[in-house]
Amino acid sequence: MATVVLFHHAQGLTDGVLGFAERLRGGGHEVHTPDLFDGRTFDSVVDGVNHVADIGFPAMLQRGAAAVGDLPQELVYAGFSLGVLPAQMLAQGRPSARGALLLEACVPPSEFGDRWPDDVPVQVHGMSDDPYFAGEGDLDVARALTAQVEGGELFLYPGDAHLFADPTLPSYDEEAAALLTDRVLAFLAQADARG
């Protein structure tokens, strides 16, 4: 069993994010879903990002760090889109990380330190024409990151949807989401085997 911290996307801790966590639990894993927005959800990515701008990105990252304070260090850190920021920060900076699942976003490792830790496997997912993931440079960063990390994996899905794995949103893509879930469960099984 792997222990996972799953950070929600900019629209908040939706029922879709909670449902994804349940699917991972169904695979035998322990999953924590911190709510960085104190119960608020938003109708659009833009509204959610504006909320983060209001509270401040550093404050959001601090909330992410505080959410794992009482958890063991041997965690897999996962995040959807905006949730990749605390997930990636913790995977790079908190000792004994078991892995990172970066879903629909990826930032340069230099944002959180000099480089990616050698012993932290990473898996990145996104749509090939997603205006956020592909259009804002995350895809290029993901290609570079997964090439430098031993066993790093980048999975691209056809389409231009953002937040395609959340069934509560109009951007949901059932086929791509099912494949993403299967690949995430395989990653978690490997993380468990390494433990």
41-66: per-residue pLDDT in tens? Answer: 999 999 999 999 999 999 999 999 99
Query: Do the bridges between strand 153-157 and strand 76-80 make them parallel or antiparallel, or are there none, so unpaired?
Result: unpaired
The larger pLDDT score, comparing residue 113 to residue 136, is at 136
Mean of per-residue pLDDT scores for the chain: 95
Q: How many CA atoms lie within 13 A of 181 on its CB side?
A: 21
pTM of the model: 0.96
Hey, CA dihedral for 118, 121, 126, 132, is it positive or negative? negative
SS3 of residue 131 by DSSP: coil
Tokens in use for 66?
């505080």
Lowest mean pLDDT among 78-87, 109-118, 146-155, 181-190: 109-118
pLDDT at 115: 87
Give me the architecture of the 3-194 domain, per CATH.
3-Layer(aba) Sandwich (3.40)
Q: What percent of the chain has pLDDT over 70?
A: 99
Q: What is the pLDDT of residues 77-126, one digit of tens each?
A: 999 999 999 999 999 999 999 999 999 999 999 999 878 998 999 999 99
3-state helix, strand, coil in the chain (%, to 5): 45, 15, 40
Burial pattern 14-40, b for ≥16 Cβ within 10 A else e, equals bebbbebbebbeebebebebbbbbeee
In 13-58, where do the E strands start and end? 30-32
Contacts with 122 (C-beta within 8 Å, 6 or more apart), sequence order: 91, 99, 100, 101, 102, 116, 145, 146, 149, 152, 153
**Helical (H) or strand (E) element with 183:** helix 174-194
